[in-house]
A and B are shown apart, each in its own frame.
Chain A
Amino acid sequence: MIEMKSVYKTYKRKDVTTEALKGIDLKVEEGDIFGVIGYSGAGKSTLVRLVNYLERPTDGEVIVDGQVLNHLSDSQLRAMKKQIGMIFQHFNLLESKTIFDNVAIPLVLAKKPKEEIKQRVMELLDFVGLREKAKSYPRELSGGQKQRVGIARALASNPKILLCDEATSALDPQTTQSILQLLKRVNQEYNITIMIITHEMSVIQEVCNRVAVMEAGEIIEEGSVLDVFGHPKHPTTKNFVKTVIHNSIPESVKRSLKKTGNSKVFRVEVKGEVASEPIVHQVMKAHDIEVNILFANMTEIQETTLVIMYLQIAGEASAIEKTVQLLKDKGAGVEEVVE
């Protein structure tokens, strides 16, 4: 649905050149809720603006719905933009217009007949749960309600893609939850591909199925949310994952850990169906070993359970080896922790 091929973006102001994006390769499939996470200045805002060509790439290709945007004329680009809705951190609603008129704007621009506009706008306001606010002005609404209006407006022209630029960053955690649930419904009920830009890992955890981690204008890690949460590779990714999943041994446990000659510490990761099996019990029964659970954490991502455990296994070297093999056979990810 969205594809970028070695995209570069540099800004030149006088003698200062800033490289905002350095060779981005990206693919977002139809139906994805694709998250892009990074600290501020990582280039993620620039990245999302390339999709609807609010920013033009300095080099490289941006392909949306099979069309190479670089080759389109201004009027073709405007037609393309109507296929892409966008919502913003600060909502960007027109203060001078009612909620109804705000949602109606894309339809008015498309010169749709009045009756059709009225029907469509009320349908959208129903969808976001703000029918009774049609005649209110944005200033009379809370932040969460404003973002609902923003979503309704972005959906007015029946887009195939919805871009969310830090859409929940100005909202409190509870309102964020309700907006994320609404985005999930947008994805499922209208089959709209969603791209979310955020600096909050909890947002990714809540709704995304795929994630790209950005730093200094590059994508440093990309994959399914389950994989990236389970196996973060880059230090920055690890930092992000840490904000939502505690996945390291607590310091106090580490300190009291007795390093005996015949024990080893493993990081064991189990997901999905396997997580509901009593695997620790099974391996203890199968081999002559002692298992000490140093740390365990269970998280739900994309309706899949992810369990991360740190196990200290004591016993004969061969028994430990066999235990590890058994865990792997059962579908667990096992890594020895060398401190």
Chain B
Amino acid sequence: MFETVITLDQFLQASIDTLYMVGMSLLIGSLVGIPLGIALVVTRPGGILENKIFYSILNPIINIVRSLPFIILMVAIIPFTRMIVGTSIGTNAAIVPLIIFISPFIARLVENSLLEVNPGIIEAAESMGATPFQIIWHFLLPEAFGSLILSITTATIGLIGATAMAGTVGGGGVGDLAIVYGYQRFDTFAMVTTVIILVIFVQIIQSTGNALARKARKE
């Protein structure tokens, strides 16, 4: 029905590359973004570790990075990427801008999740003489856990979109296939297949996230 030059191996490799880029940047992005999100909540005015200077520096930095579209961010930081991984082409090179893109996004999502926690819970924690670390660990995080899972789910799906864009500069992955074969060589089969693969990825991630969040909320 369709004429295509792509092999099944290429699809498999592209899917693995996408998962690798999403997985790595999600992992490192969460390690950076979650603490930043917590920092935003605790240092904000009225927070348990209120710190005007820290907050008024961190908050705009996150806004600035968040205001750059991924495709521009990716190109803009090429010198930095080269410095870190030695090249600006390939899967590993794509991970650097992906991390810079997703970390502040995760930070904002985490901030929102944590702000949803009933302030009464924090007051109860303070009345028990909990330290700021104990408040975060024993009260804030467990109470926001379901919401945090949904936040990470949203971030993951955002990353899948961004990895597809990374394909345009030779990042590899499913997006790369769609651009190189589907778009530049008019290979409709490649285009349709990549779309289907992306849809399946997103569906699986969203339903897994929803299920985990429900479980965390003991529903």
A residues neighboring B (CB under 8 Å) = 52, 54, 77-82, 84-86, 88, 90, 92, 94-97, 105-106, 108-109, 137, 139, 157, 163
Contact = CB atoms under 8 A, between A and B. Distances in A.
A86 B143 contact: no
B129 A88 contact: no
Interface of B: 118, 120-121, 123-124, 126-131, 134, 138-139, 142-143, 145-146, 216-218
Given A97-B142, A105-B138, A92 B130 contact: no
Contacts of B127: 52, 54, 81, 84-86, 163
B120 A92 contact: yes
Contact of B218 (A85, A105, A137, A157): A137
Most buried by A among B128, B134, B139, B217: B128
A166 to B, nearest CB: 12
A81 B123 contact: no
A86 B124 contact: yes
Contacts of B218: 95-96, 137, 139
Contacts of A163: 127
A82 B130 CA distance: 9
16 contacts: A52-B127, A78-B129, A78-B130, A81-B127, A81-B128, A88-B123, A90-B120, A94-B121, A94-B143, A96-B142, A96-B143, A105-B128, A105-B138, A109-B128, A109-B129, A109-B138
A86 to B, nearest CB: 4
A92 B139 CA distance: 11
B120 A78 contact: no
7 nearest A-B residue pairs (beta carbon): A81-B129, A78-B129, A92-B120, A92-B124, A86-B127, A96-B142, A82-B129
Given A90-B118, A94-B143, A109-B130, 14 more contacts: A54-B123, A80-B129, A81-B127, A81-B128, A84-B127, A92-B120, A92-B121, A94-B121, A95-B143, A96-B143, A105-B138, A106-B128, A108-B138, A139-B218
A105 B135 CA distance: 11
A198 B142 CA distance: 31
A140 B218 CA distance: 11
Contacts, number: 58
A78 B127 CA distance: 8
Contacts of A82: 128-129
Nearest to B145: A96
A96 B217 contact: yes
Contacts of A85: 127
A90 B124 CA distance: 11
Nearest to A74: B131
A52 B129 CA distance: 9
Nearest to A80: B129
A80 B131 CA distance: 13
Nearest to B131: A78
A156 to B, nearest CB: 9
Contacts of A78: 129-131
A13 to B, nearest CB: 11
A101 to B, nearest CB: 9
A52 B127 CA distance: 7
Contacts of B143: 94-96
A94 B139 contact: yes
Contacts of A54: 123, 126-127
A92 B123 contact: yes
A77 B129 contact: yes
A96 B216 contact: yes
A161 to B, nearest CB: 11
A94 B142 contact: yes
Nearest to A95: B143
A80 B127 CA distance: 10
Contacts of A81: 126-129
Contacts of B123: 54, 88, 92
A326 B189 CA distance: 110
A86 B138 CA distance: 18
A84 to B, nearest CB: 7
Contacts of A139: 218
Contacts of B216: 96
A108 B125 CA distance: 12
A92 B128 contact: no
B217 A92 contact: no
Contacts of B121: 92, 94
A135 to B, nearest CB: 11
B200 to A, nearest CB: 32
Contacts of A105: 128, 138
A85 B127 CA distance: 7
Contacts of A77: 129
Nearest to A108: B138
A47 to B, nearest CB: 15
A163 B121 CA distance: 16
Contacts of A97: 142
A80 B146 CA distance: 33
A94 B131 CA distance: 17
